[in-house]
Chains A and B, each alone.
Chain A
């Protein structure tokens, strides 16, 4: 099975800061990676699909990049409403799907 790791597991940043989260796959998954945002008590929300494509309606401060085994998720200017946990998810070995362990983002 493909394993996913994320770093850091948590971070604190100031409003306006650039925030970067990395996700690593245990084997090459091409660009078969999505990113989700989950706020407390809510279902996850798709932000980025196929590693770098912004979902419709998602603010442009969110972006994703990478391919193969190493991926990056970036918030260009952190806003108070971005406080959430962020998960990567791979879909290389269909129909199996695997989520990363998550990164909790807080305001400093």
Chain B
């Protein structure tokens, strides 16, 4: 079945970088855009950016420009989100999500990856 499986929880120090993976299965990886959304503890959802797994093109929310990099590996059907210069405010659950059936609606989600930034 269609699923997105993310990498495990991470603990990082301020100033470090984190790279979260999202492995897709059950569908043609290059056919659907992938998004990253994060959620700080007790807070709402925040869209971070989008990657086209086919060509690798990306677009990022202005808030994360210069700090986030989204990439993909078509050989393993995996997308990656790397966030640099981490600060405590980046402590959050990071989700990958795709709009496979409903255009521009996130109808499939990964399970989430908790990233904790703490000294």
Structural contact, B45 and A99, CB atoms closer than 8 A: yes
Contacts of B35 in A (CB 8 A): 97
Residue pairs across A and B with CB atoms within 8 Å: the count is 61
Structural contact, B102 and A49, CB atoms closer than 8 A: yes
For the residues of A in contact with B, the DSSP-based class is loop
- Closest B residue, CB atoms, query A94: B104
B interface size (C-beta, 8 A): 22
Structural contact, B44 and A87, CB atoms closer than 8 A: yes
Contacts of A65 in B (CB 8 A): none
Contacts of A1 in B (CB 8 A): 62
Structural contact, A91 and B44, CB atoms closer than 8 A: no
Tell me if B95 is interfacial: C-beta within 8 Å of chain A. Answer: yes
Instruction: Give Cα A71–Cα B105 distance, bound, in whole angstroms.
Output: 16
Tell me if B47 is interfacial: C-beta within 8 Å of chain A. Answer: yes
Interface residues of A (CB under 8 A from B): 1, 32, 34, 36, 38, 43-46, 49-50, 55-56, 87, 89, 91, 94-102
Structural contact, A97 and B47, CB atoms closer than 8 A: yes
Structural contact, A102 and B44, CB atoms closer than 8 A: yes
Stretch at the interface among B7-15, B23-31, B77-85, B106-114: B106-114
Contacts of A55 in B (CB 8 A): 102, 105, 107
Asked if A91 meets B104 with Cβ closer than 8 Å, knowing A43-B110, A97-B35, A98-B47, the reply is: yes
